[in-house]
Amino acid sequence: MMIGIGLEPQACPTGAASMNLPAIYVPAGAMLRGHWRGETLGSGTDVWKYWAERRAGNLSDEAWRELEVGIARSPGTCMTMGTAATMMSLAETLGMTLPGASSIPAVDATHAHMASRSGRRIVEMVWQDLKPSAILTEAAFDNAITVDMALGGSTNAIIHLVAIAGRAGVHLALERFDELSRTTPTLANMKPSGEYLMEDFYYSGGLPALLVRIGDRLNLDCLTVNGATLGANIEGAEVFNDEVIRSRDNPLSATGGTAVLRGNLAPDGAIIKPVAAQAHLLEHTGPAVVFENIDDLHARIDDPDLDVTADSVLVLKNAGPLGGPGMPEWGQLPIPKKLLAQGVRDMVRISDCRMSGTSYGACVLHVAPESALGGPLALVRSGDEITLDVASRRLHLDVNDTELERRRAAWQPPPRHYQRGYGSLFLDHVTQADQGCDFDFLHAGPDTPEPAIY
């Protein structure tokens, strides 16, 4: 049997899907709200916000130290709707936790009760031989995608759901995320897209209350780890604060929190979180300012002579699964210091990497295929016009095909990061963003035979 306890809610269901042994996940829970000078703080989100103000010269060292002390007041995960909160919620939606487990704050007494009940339940699951393969079905993943959109969840959720599904033998195409996003309203008024934090979400009814609000969009017959269906688990749940968990006729957004983009710059897809971006940037054309890698970015982003304006499109290359390597969270590219001084707080930014689920802004992420593979992102040059149109799901490099072919013929791949060991294995077998950034040899396949015992 497996009982997963920890801060990485994507790892436990992924491993459980691979092993296919009776398994239950115990979410770590979010930390308490942060506080600073009378303001409620959300970890990650408000760090990015005030770090920009510090870089702009608007926040003193003393104020920054106070903010650091006030932003993490207890054990637990980030209390915004970042990757941890999103994936805890999606693990519950998939049926891998006890009902209501994902929303309980880490230090709440109910959390210990839930952990105890989980320990008892996993023993029962072993006797019942209830395995993840009975729970992690195609319908369950559709439920998880729908809830992700209603939560305004982390952009990382797409990669993680695709990876978990791949281990479970379910194919999740990016198109399915976009189909469900177009028809699912964002109801969770949570940072970084909205105003509130996980503690507020819990007191407002938690995930079961949100599921009731969108129950007609879910497959309520899906089995969960307690042996009951998702529908039975949320029966009787109520919303206690309509500002935190919005009603269907008063959504935070009429559509889901994440959009999937296509175009000649991202043939295999890219994503953006429109609900966390400034609206005027969701339809934008501007000249590229290109950084070849993260070192180039750090060396030049605050150069007073950098040729950049608020209309520019910042582009970071070589930051994907192979180029990073490891697809690091660099996607919320910093606003150039001279633009911060002018009051600019958001710009269109494009990369083949990820960003923290607590991040915000008009950041186009997960561009596939990545630049290190010679994807179109590798061919972008400073000054090229790039068009982003979220409503039409379009990401286009405004350079003619003949010129792009000329650039492609001259392109050289970056040096390989590793020649041996685990790093080399990683580079040989990790998949692209649209395939979950997982090892290809861990996708579902024939059972591994048990070794003979002599």
Instruction: List, by residue number, the catalytic residues.
Output: 356
Distance between the two ends of the chain, CA-based, in angstroms? 25
Report the SS3 class of residue 363.
strand
- By CB atoms closer than 10 A (0-12, 13-18, 19+), residue 114 is buried
Rounded to whole angstroms, how far apart are CA atoms 333 and 351? 9
Distance CA 223, CA 385 (A): 49
Kindly state the DSSP code that residue 346 receives in the 8-state scheme. -
> How is 293-330 classified by DSSP, letter by letter?
SHHHHHHHTT-TT----TT-EEEE-S-STTTTTS--B-
265, two tokens: 């710059």
Structure tokens belonging to residue 118: 């989980």
- The C-alpha atoms of residue 53 and residue 32 are separated, in whole angstroms, by 24
- Of the candidates 35, 28, 111, the one whose C-alpha atom is nearest the C-alpha of residue 72 is 35
Give exposure, 333-365, as e/b (b: 16+ Cβ within 10 Å): bbbbbbbbeeebebbbbbbbbbbbbbbbbbbbb
